[in-house]
Structure 1
Amino acid sequence: MLRVLAVDDEKPLLEELLYLLRADPRVRSAEGASDATGALRRVTRALESGPDGPEGIDVVFLDIHMAGLTGLDIARLLAGFARPPLIVFVTAHEGFAVHAFDLKAVDYVLKPVRPERLAEAVRRACERLGRTGEAPPAPPAAAAGRGPEQIPVELGGVTRFVAIDDIAHVEAQGDYARLHTDEGSHLVRIPLSTLEERWAERGFVRIHRRHLVALSRIEELRLDAGTTTVRVGSAELQVSRRHARELRDLLMRRATH
């Protein structure tokens, strides 16, 4: 079960969030803080008591727009702690989803908070920590400890979370990257080089300065008149000369295993 801290400088919203959190059977305790100073002081006390101590905090539910330090500032400070708690952003603003991803937030919940949406954030936090509390067991596909399983994308003013395992390939578009899935594509403001570094352990490989591909999604490798291409679903993508040999070796090893 989770020990949580909710942070919001608007008292009615903080009380409502605490009410919803305390009503969840997977939450063992829920405390509130109305500013950055109180939040950082409380988390410091939790760290001093140890991860299993009576003062421990597992997850911080953070508003973003607050007087003084913002929720993003607090999250950056907490990331420097020895054993930082997980972060869930709770905000009325949709435009910070990419920053939340950069800070490895567990979830990004929009205000007004719906109980079922908050329950999903609690589930994801339990899943990340390998706990189930009194909730149904988490699906086996989401392994705890592997980092974010989803990436936030914005479409028509709505923030959605796309499973990384559903992404077949990524295309660079300046400072943005277009994520291609079987259902369509999504544009995110993250450079391709950043995704290449973060998703290497998930089986994504760079095949061109413009393309990052999930190795498991490559259906065909073709060499024609000195040009190498791969087929990923309905897309045919060019492989640069400098990546061609490494890609062939990776595919051969994968086929052998």
Structure 2
Amino acid sequence: MIRVGLVDDQPYDLEKLTAIVGQLDEAEIVFATQDPEEAYREVKKDKIDLLIADIEMPGLSGYELAHFVHSYALKTTVIFVTGHSGYAVHAFEIQVHDYIMKPYTRERLLQSVQRFAEKRRKQDSAHGNLIIKQKAEIHVIRKPDIIFIERTGRTTTIVTTGDTYETYQPLAELEEKLVERDFFRSHRSFIINIHHVKNFSLYSKHSYSIAFYPTKQTAMMTKDKMEEFQSKYF
């Protein structure tokens, strides 16, 4: 869920923002205000993911709000929705996500918010979390907690330090999301987290059995993959 704050001193423009963003199932409007000072107090709490702001407002400008976010490295991303083009260069300098000129279409704003949502999903995938769809549920799994992943038939099992999850997502699809050096495709049916490996035992002429901390379950590694593993990590 994306937590959104909206600020525009013009009532009609604020209503338009609220109506468009409110249509998104993945967005929750935390505040919508005409008062930039109120927006500033909310932004300071560092509780929103996205701030959509007009720029020229009485008392405190949207640019000043964005500069505060940038200066204090808050988790908030900013989109400017404005009738003034003169701040575009400055917006780039403070890493604003988008600069939308009024009047704008519904599609233009939705496209910008959805681009932000996709960017955040990719960041989550690459930095710490794996998103798993499991029947009617979606699980957020910390990547360091993953011990190994096994594909059996049409089912993929993810063994973690605290639980086990099953999904129909193919192993190749999950491998694309596990780009960190910690993860290694040890076998056509297994991905392992090297930090949980306890030991390797010769299983057959062409494969090894892998034991892990802290589970008694095991995974497999082929002889060819063992050679690749040694060259990569040792």
The verdict on how the C-alpha distance between 1:193 and 1:159 changes in structure 2, with shifts beyond 3 A counting, is closer
**Native 8 Å contact 2:147 2:192 kept in 1:** yes
Q: Using the alignment, how far apart are the partners of 2:112 and 2:79 within structure 1?
A: 8
Q: Encode CA deviations 1:86-111: one digit per residue, 9 max, x unaligned.
A: 53xxxxxxxxxxxx6994165xxxxx
Match of 1:216 in 2: 195
> Scaled by the length of structure 2, what TM-score is found?
0.53
Match of 2:93 in 1: 52
CA RMSD in angstroms comes to 4.7
| Equivalent residue runs for 1:2-151 within 5 Å | 8-10=21-23, 16-19=29-32, 22=39, 23-24=42-43, 25-26=45-46, 30-31=51-52, 42=81, 49-53=90-94, 56-57=96-97, 78=115, 86-87=116-117, 103-104=121-122, 106=124, 147-151=126-130
Amino acid at match of 1:234: K
Question: Is the aligned partner of 1:229 residue 2:190?
Answer: no
Q: Using the alignment, how far apart are the partners of 2:184 and 2:27 within structure 1?
A: 43
- Distance apart, 1:214 and its partner CA: 0.6
- Distance apart, 1:48 and its partner CA: 5.3
Q: Using the alignment, how far apart are the partners of 2:150 and 2:169 within structure 1?
A: 11
- Distance apart, 1:177 and its partner CA: 3.4
**Native 8 Å contact 2:52 2:81 kept in 1:** no
The verdict on how the C-alpha distance between 1:247 and 1:159 changes in structure 2, with shifts beyond 3 A counting, is same
**Native 8 Å contact 1:4 1:27 kept in 2:** no
Q: Encode CA deviations 1:131-150: one digit per residue, 9 max, x unaligned.
A: xxxxxxxxxxxxxxx93311
SS at match of 1:179: strand
- Distance apart, 1:69 and its partner CA: 8.8
Could you tell me which of 132, 135, 146 is aligned with 1:167?
Answer: 146
Amino acid at match of 1:244: M
> Scaled by the length of structure 1, what TM-score is found?
0.49
Amino acid at match of 1:31: I
Q: Using the alignment, how far apart are the partners of 1:57 and 1:101 within structure 2?
A: 10
Amino acid at match of 2:92: P
Which ranges in structure 2 are unaligned for 5 or more consecutive residues?
Answer: 7-16, 55-77, 99-105
**Native 8 Å contact 2:208 2:220 kept in 1:** yes
Q: Using the alignment, how far apart are the partners of 1:221 and 1:42 within structure 2?
A: 57
SS at match of 1:17: strand
Amino acid at match of 1:18: F
- Distance apart, 1:156 and its partner CA: 7.2
SS at match of 1:213: strand
Match of 1:206 in 2: 185
- Distance apart, 1:166 and its partner CA: 0.4
Report how many residues are paired: 174
Which ranges in structure 1 are unaligned for 5 or more consecutive residues?
Answer: 34-38, 59-66, 79-85, 88-99, 107-145
- Distance apart, 1:230 and its partner CA: 1.0
Q: Using the alignment, how far apart are the partners of 1:248 and 1:151 within structure 2?
A: 26
**Native 8 Å contact 2:132 2:140 kept in 1:** yes
Match of 2:221 in 1: 239
Amino acid at match of 1:17: V
- Distance apart, 1:163 and its partner CA: 0.5
Q: Using the alignment, how far apart are the partners of 1:16 and 1:48 within structure 2?
A: 28
Amino acid at match of 1:8: V
Q: Which has the higher strand share?
A: 2
- Distance apart, 1:19 and its partner CA: 4.4
SS at match of 1:153: strand
**Native 8 Å contact 1:18 1:31 kept in 2:** no
